[in-house]
Amino acid sequence: MASPDPARPSTAGLPGRSASEIRRDIDLQRQDFGRSVEALRGRVTELTDWRRQLREHRSQLIVGAAVAGFAVGMLAMRRRR
């Protein structure tokens, strides 16, 4: 959620607010919510892009595959004995 505008004091929750103030606050909350949803959607898209993740973490994946291959090879050798 965006930080409140310091030039505009918040009247949210104050008794005696007019209908137009309430509507304005609802519209501001709706806009903040929309921005938050869009930011979250972008982040989810970024994190679930597996091709991008492969490109960015290629060296870690290669090391992990080598370690896994070594472990499987060692287990296979133990079973032969």
Say how far apart CA 14 and CA 4 lie, in whole Å. Answer: 16
CA geometry: angle 22, 23, 26, nearest 5 deg:
85
Q: How confident is the model at residue 29 (pLDDT cuts 50, 70, 90)?
A: very high
Q: Which amino acid is at 22?
A: I
Which pLDDT belongs to residue 11? 61
Which pLDDT belongs to residue 24? 95
Burial of 17 (0-12, 13-18, 19+ CB in 10 A): middle
In the predicted structure, residue 10 carries a pLDDT above the cut 80: no
Distance of CA 81 to the CA centre of its chain: 49
Alpha helices (runs of H) in the chain, residue ranges in sequence order: 19-47, 50-56, 58-80
Average pLDDT rounded to a whole number, residues 29-36: 97
